């Protein structure tokens, strides 16, 4: 369940009532800004984890710098997108921070409006992949798919190879992501590009993954699952997002993360404006701030987000884990996927993965 969290803990009851009135008092027309220039409250919809860190890194300094007041609404990607669809003309959020697949899925249902580039001066400063035209809103961070492995059991070169997952020497000591999680699609595309003709050659990928399946201990569905399996020594290698490694490496565990030798793909987190957002002006102010070097630096340091603004300072702990991809993923060989292909085929591929891979 998602929850509305007032960021200012000391807000008075009157302020809360005022915020509520601003948010639900009238319906907005698509693309409209019914709040007017004096509407200084916005609702930011975001992920359910790391809310305290996000507040410290972004929300508090944004409020101080701009005079806006922010309320945070949290939930999973699917929960929040469903909520947005059910709400109809009453969006309930002015900015939605959401992973790329769900951003594109929402676009296909006309749930988002295109950002106005002219209101985002910081957009010109971010990396090209962050402003791909296939999305209605820019990326503000990215996630790299790679291998999370036990350094006391595998060397980096062995961990990085996809065919290690078919090696009988590691049977029962491996995990793969379920297709439902972000790393699932990135892994399928990485295998597809490695053994097939392109990252969308799921016939080749599912055949190969199906052959590996008997040696896989678990198809994980959360970061907690895969990190616990590694910490307990039940597995030695698993494709996973780079962010999963940060706390493990900092804690001195015998665990590291490496890019795959081939098939390097990344996902992005997008800043989207709902079609019926009530404070479109405020939404643009927030997104522009989020893309700035100061906010990007703060988010990298406190939240652990990989920044899309090259002017941001990346902390050494992130550089240690992902190398040059922490500052330039494209130069490091990473690519994004054509999200229109993913949206078109996602339901079919999910069903096929369950039948042809996970159930074997």
Structure tokens at 129: 């992949």
CA distance 274 to 48: 19
DSSP annotation of 265: B
Mean pLDDT of the chain: 90
Q: How far apart are the C-alpha atoms of 108 and 222, rounded to whole Å? A: 27
* Distance from C-alpha of 74 to C-alpha of 47, rounded to nearest angstrom: 5
Structure tokens belonging to residue 306: 């990989």
Could you say which of 3.30.420.40, 2.70.40.10, 3.40.640.10, 3.40.190.10 is the CATH number of the domain covering 142-266+333-358?
3.40.190.10
pLDDT one-digit tens code per residue, 290-318: 999 999 999 999 999 999 999 999 999 99
Distance separating alpha carbons of residues 325 and 242, to the nearest angstrom? 10
State the pairing for strand pair 95-99/41-46. parallel
Which residues are CB-contacts of 159 (< 8 A; sequence separation ≥ 6)? 147, 149, 237, 256, 258
pLDDT above 80: residue 2: no
Q: Which residues pair with 256 in a beta bridge?
A: 149
Per-domain residue ranges for the chain? 3-141+268-316, 142-266+333-358
Q: What is the pLDDT of residues 256-271, one digit of tens each?
A: 999 999 999 999 999 9
Higher-pLDDT residue of 189, 36 = 189
151 burial via Cβ count (<10 Å: 0-12, 13-18, 19+): middle
Mean pLDDT along residues 106-130 = 97
pLDDT tens digits, 80-98: 999 999 998 888 999 999 9
Nearest to 176 by CA among 228, 212, 224: 212
The 3-state DSSP class for residue 146 equals strand
Which tokens in the block code for residue 68?
């806006």
Q: What's the pLDDT tens digit per position in 321-343? A: 999 999 999 999 999 999 999 99
User: pLDDT at position 37, please?
Assistant: 54
- Other beta carbons within 10 angstroms of residue 105's beta carbon come to 20
Helices (H), the chain: 13-24, 51-54, 60-66, 77-87, 100-108, 156-160, 182-195, 202-212, 223-231, 246-250, 280-291, 293-302, 316-322, 339-353
pLDDT of residue 34 exceeding 60: no
Q: What is the pLDDT of residue 360?
A: 79
Q: CATH homologous superfamily for 3-141+268-316?
A: Periplasmic binding protein-like II (3.40.190.10)
Same CATH fold assignment for domains 3-141+268-316 and 142-266+333-358: yes
The model's pLDDT over 223-240, given as tens digits with 9 standing for 90+, comes to 999 999 999 999 999 999
183 Cβ neighbours under 8 A, 6+ residues apart: 145, 177, 239, 240, 241
pLDDT of residue 10: 34
d(CA 22, CA 112): 20
Q: Is 230 helix (H, G, I), strand (E, B) or coil?
A: helix
Contact 71, 278 (CB under 8 A): no
The DSSP secondary-structure symbol of 29 reads: P
Burial of residue 42, with CB atoms counted within 10 A of its CB: 0-12 exposed, 13-18 middle, 19 or more buried = buried
Label residue 162 by pLDDT band (50, 70, 90).
very high
**Alpha-carbon span 273 to 293, nearest angstrom:** 21
Q: Identify the pLDDT of residue 39.
A: 87
101 pLDDT higher than 60: yes
Full-model pTM: 0.86
Summarize pLDDT for 119-154 with one digit per residue, the tens. 999 999 999 999 999 999 999 999 999 999 999 999
Name which of 244, 285, 219 is nearest 65 in CA terms.
285
């Amino acid at each position: 369940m998602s929850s509305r969290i007032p960021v200012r803990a000391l807000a008075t009851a009157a302020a809360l009532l005022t915020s509520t009135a601003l948010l639900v008092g009238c319906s907005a027309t698509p693309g409209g800004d019914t709040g007017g220039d004096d509407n200084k409250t916005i609702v930011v919809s975001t992920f359910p984890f790391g809310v305290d860190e996000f507040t410290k890194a972004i929300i508090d300094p944004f409020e101080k710098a701009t005079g806006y007041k922010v309320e945070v609404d949290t939930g999973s990607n699917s929960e929040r997108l469903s909520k947005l669809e059910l709400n109809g003309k009453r969006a309930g959020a002015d900015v939605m921070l959401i992973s790329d697949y769900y951003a594109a899925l929402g676009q296909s249902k006309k749930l988002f409006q295109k950002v106005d580039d002219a209101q985002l001066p910081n957009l010109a400063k971010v990396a090209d992949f962050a402003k791909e035209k296939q999305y209605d809103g820019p990326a503000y961070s990215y996630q790299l798919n790679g291998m999370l492995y036990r350094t006391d059991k595998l060397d980096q070169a062995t961990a990085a190879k996809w065919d290690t997952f078919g090696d009988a020497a590691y049977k029962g000591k491996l995990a793969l992501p379920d297709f439902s999680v972000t790393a699932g699609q990135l892994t399928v595309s990485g295998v597809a590009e490695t053994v097939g003709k392109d990252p969308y050659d799921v016939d080749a990928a599912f055949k190969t993954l199906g052959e590996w399946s008997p040696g896989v201990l678990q198809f994980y569905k959360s970061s907690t699952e895969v990190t616990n399996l590694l910490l307990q020594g039940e597995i030695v290698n698993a494709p996973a997002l780079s962010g999963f490694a940060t706390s493990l490496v900092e804690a001195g565990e015998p665990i590291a993360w490496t890019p795959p030798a081939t098939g390097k793909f990344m996902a992005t987190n997008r800043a989207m404006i709902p079609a019926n957002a009530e404070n479109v002006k405020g939404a643009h102010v927030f997104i522009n701030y989020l893309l700035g070097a100061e906010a990007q630096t703060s988010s990298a340091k406190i939240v652990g987000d990989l920044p899309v603004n090259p002017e941001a300072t990346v902390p050494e702990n992130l550089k240690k884990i992902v190398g040059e991809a922490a500052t330039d993923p494209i130069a490091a060989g990473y690519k994004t996927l054509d999200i229109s292909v993913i949206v078109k085929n996602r339901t079919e591929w999910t069903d096929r993965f369950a039948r042809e891979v996970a159930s074997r």
